[in-house]
Chain A
């Protein structure tokens, strides 16, 4: 039994090399900033946080705010203010009290398990730390999936800076070549996707413009990362765009788990 599981894990690591994209989730998680390019000495932004199919309409579920983090231009930890969660969306404010680029993120690392106990199929979902106690010792056919999700947005007061763009080397991350707060309609922007800090090649990236309620087509663009993990988008129109990519495989930090890593951001494209 154990050796069989090891075989399965070996197959998973093989898939990691190929960086197999995962089918998009049924619902989209998103953070929508009120502005991303700001001037003045004391600008604030307000952010909507929700889960829905249509972008950017809050009509399904609010995003919980307890996982939201703010990083200031100098890498220091910032805070969200005036957070509130309603029926369909959460909102919060961020004060840009320093010049430069801020990152607002919701990074999660969780586990999903399915197993059999006395012949009965069971499921569990929870944080990594609870794994040891969550699954009974006599469980069989244990299947673990580690889900590393990263949602982040950027906003800049004054000149764009790069400190917050540094990657951590964990999960799927975006390494901007073009600064994410310097996007203009008609221009091309290049980004790199990294999986555990290394180029994620051949990954499909979905880019969806907001405002689909007012048009028939979704307007979505599909791009694939090259050998360096890079992809380039030429923005067809100004507006807010939702960007998502996910990968199954690569190194799970939990033993015997399959790993699913995803990255989501919202990018604002201004008119020239």
Chain B
């Protein structure tokens, strides 16, 4: 019984530093004083400098509606939908999640196998009866030391920072 567990632990130990590295996203969803407020749909993905998508890390949407009806509005996150979302099968384990309330959120991702190079972490928010905003924070992979990169939203998103840990 214990053997597979040991194997898994061993694999973890042997993994390259790049595979083990963390990407920590700190994201503020602003509190808005509007008559009708709905939490925004948010997508988080890694892109190449030419804006082609590498990997979707998270999609926060209304995952609880019956018959996946919440997916009807995923296309409102236009850039993510065009570059990644429309080719994905959703819901996806570890990617699909519920929308989040206004406030500061910390999420740790393990990007895993990613060729060394320059990337952007992209966050796109689209709100029902509201607008759309996209933020990008550049980063280098794999990280050699703890480094941070940040961006600031003006409407649908607040402060965003990305911290990489080897």
Contact = CB atoms under 8 A, between A and B. Distances in A.
Interface of A: 37-43, 156, 158-160, 182, 184, 270-272
B86 A158 contact: yes
Interface of B: 67-69, 71-75, 78-79, 81-82, 85-87
B86 A159 contact: yes
A39 B67 contact: no
A125 to B, nearest CB: 43
Given A158-B86, A159-B87, A39 B69 contact: no
A159 B78 CA distance: 13
B156 to A, nearest CB: 14
A39 B82 contact: no
Given A40-B69, A40-B72, 19 more contacts: A37-B75, A37-B78, A37-B81, A37-B82, A38-B72, A39-B71, A39-B73, A39-B86, A40-B73, A41-B67, A41-B68, A42-B67, A43-B72, A156-B86, A159-B87, A160-B86, A184-B82, A270-B78, A271-B78
By secondary structure, the B interface counts as: helix
A82 to B, nearest CB: 19
Determine which residue in B69, B74, B81, B86 has the highest number of CB atoms from chain A within 10 A of its CB, and name it.
B86
A270 B86 CA distance: 15
A40 B72 CA distance: 4
Contacts of A39: 71-75, 81, 85-86
Contacts, number: 41
Nearest to B132: A271
Contacts of A182: 82
B70 to A, nearest CB: 8
B87 A40 contact: no
A43 B72 CA distance: 7
Contacts of B73: 39-40
A73 to B, nearest CB: 13
Closest 8 CB pairs of A and B: A40-B72, A39-B75, A39-B74, A40-B71, A159-B86, A159-B87, A158-B86, A41-B68
Contacts of B68: 40-41
Nearest to B90: A39
A184 B72 CA distance: 20
Determine which residue in A38, A40, A270 has the highest number of CB atoms from chain B within 10 A of its CB, and name it.
A40
24 contacts: A37-B82, A38-B72, A39-B71, A39-B72, A39-B73, A39-B75, A39-B81, A39-B85, A40-B68, A40-B69, A40-B72, A40-B74, A41-B67, A41-B69, A42-B67, A42-B72, A156-B86, A158-B86, A160-B86, A182-B82, A270-B78, A270-B82, A272-B78, A272-B79
Contacts of A38: 72, 75
A38 B75 CA distance: 6
B102 to A, nearest CB: 25
Contacts of A41: 67-69, 71
A41 B67 CA distance: 8
A184 B74 CA distance: 17
A37 B80 CA distance: 13
A155 to B, nearest CB: 12
A184 B81 CA distance: 13
